Copies of this chain bind each other. A is one copy, B any other.
Amino acid sequence: MQLISSQMTGYIKKASWIRKMFEEGIKLKQEFGAENVHDFSLGNPDLPPPSIIKETLAELADEADQPFFLGYMPNFGYPDVRQRLAEEVSKEQGVEVPADSLVITCGAAGALNSVFRAVLEPGDEIITPAPFFVEYGFYADNHAAQLKPIPSKPLTFELDLDAIDAAINDKTRVVLINSPNNPTGAVYSREELEKLAAILEKHNAKRERPIFILSDEPYRFLAFDGVEVPSVLDIYRYSIVCSSFSKNLSMAGERVGYALINPAIEGKEVLMGAIIMSNRILGFVNAPALAQKLLGKALGSSVDVSIYDKRRKAMAEVLDNAGFNYTMPKGAFYFFPEAPGGDDVAFCATLQEEKILAVPGTGFGCPGYFRLAFCVGEDVILRAKDAFKRAMDKA
């Protein structure tokens, strides 16, 4: 009997190679011990949550015998936490964001899907620079939309603005960007974003349905060497920001984030109302109560960013030593070097022979590269030095 849908059957078939690779990684760890495998495959932040999380949890325990302690709240979140969040994102974005431009969501994933549900018609297209976070393709499918990846400029991963311009048609509804970027570490400059905005404004002038920029920014806090992460809000009117607290508060499993619409959008109440309703009807209902209560106290705190910067430098040293070709990441916690020989899947297999786990660029819609996550101790990175060198020599 056919138990699952045809689309789901296709997904499972397509994902089999990455599952196989993942299973081989597990086998390596079982055979040689986890401490002897250099695992750079996972973007699971390893820094402990800031101490305010521990303190707040202890305080919350005191209130946990009250009625409605974990009861329903408005679908947009606790009003006081929403207000605090508005103050915090106003600082981060450099734009005054009122609370009613915000909805607290189940992570950035919840935010992205709620925005899609609110604005997309079936058959709409979502342009995104490649490489891209693999889940974007599923999120598009969830809403019967089409993800249209546009390759970024080789190695620097700057936006290919001409290609984006050429890809826009009547069905284009969203340009989805992720900066600082997973998997490349690129941060789009103000100049790039202004040019992108000008392109979209040119198209909007001929349309009833504006093209949105949807900026997915969970790594905003993690930019290195003082690089600016410009806000799309003062660059382009039809902009929406999604983010999460998975990385800056090391709360990836807790599923809390937000969607923020540009307060400058005329008639923004309708858009906000639709996103809040989407958050409800998609089954998220609201962001988890405890996570929101933690945010109420922890907003403005962050894990120690300098630790990530040290790891970045250590990883650069390791890659330089082996002779890899890459652009130094400006933000986030990933390197995306060229795969020697050009076949990323084959080269990741070579890395596995040296007990290094990495993810092929093919998994991000960008063959010829591979991703290394530095959510591991500096010592783990440095320990892999010789292994990277050996893999390079084999390639």
Chain B residue numbers with a CB within 8 Å of A204 are 1
Bound CA–CA A311/B8 (angstroms): 46
Q: Is A337 an interface residue when CB atoms closer than 8 A count as contact?
A: no
**B265 in contact with A3 (CB, 8 Å):** yes
A329 CB to closest chain B CB, in angstroms? 21
Binary per-residue interface labels of chain A (109-142) against chain B in the complex, 1 for a CB within 8 Å, 0 otherwise: 1101100011111100000000000010011011
Question: Which single residue of chain B is at the shortest CB-CB distance from A266?
Answer: B1
Copies of this chain in the oligomer: 2
Judge whether A274 and B3 touch: CB under 8 Å.
yes
Give the chain B neighbours of A268 by CB distance below 8 A.
3
Cβ of A121: which chain B residues have Cβ within 8 Å of it? 5-7
Asked if B65 and A48 make an inter-chain contact with CB atoms under 8 angstroms apart, the answer reads yes
Chain B proximity of A231: nearest CB distance (Å): 20
A64 to B60 alpha-carbon distance, docked (Å): 13
Contacting residues, chain B, for A359 (C-beta < 8 A): none
A: residues with CB less than 8 A from B are 1-8, 11-12, 42, 44-49, 51, 53-55, 57-58, 60-62, 64-73, 106-107, 109-110, 112-113, 117-122, 135, 138-139, 141-142, 144, 204, 208-210, 238, 249-256, 265-268, 270-271, 273-274, 277-278, 280-291
Q: List 19 A-B contacts (CB under 8 A).
A: A1-B238, A3-B119, A3-B265, A4-B118, A8-B117, A8-B277, A46-B67, A48-B65, A48-B66, A53-B65, A53-B70, A57-B64, A69-B250, A70-B252, A70-B254, A71-B253, A110-B284, A139-B281, A256-B288
Q: 7 other contacts beyond A53-B70, A255-B288, with CB at 8 A cut-off?
A: A1-B238, A2-B209, A53-B69, A58-B58, A70-B254, A135-B283, A142-B283
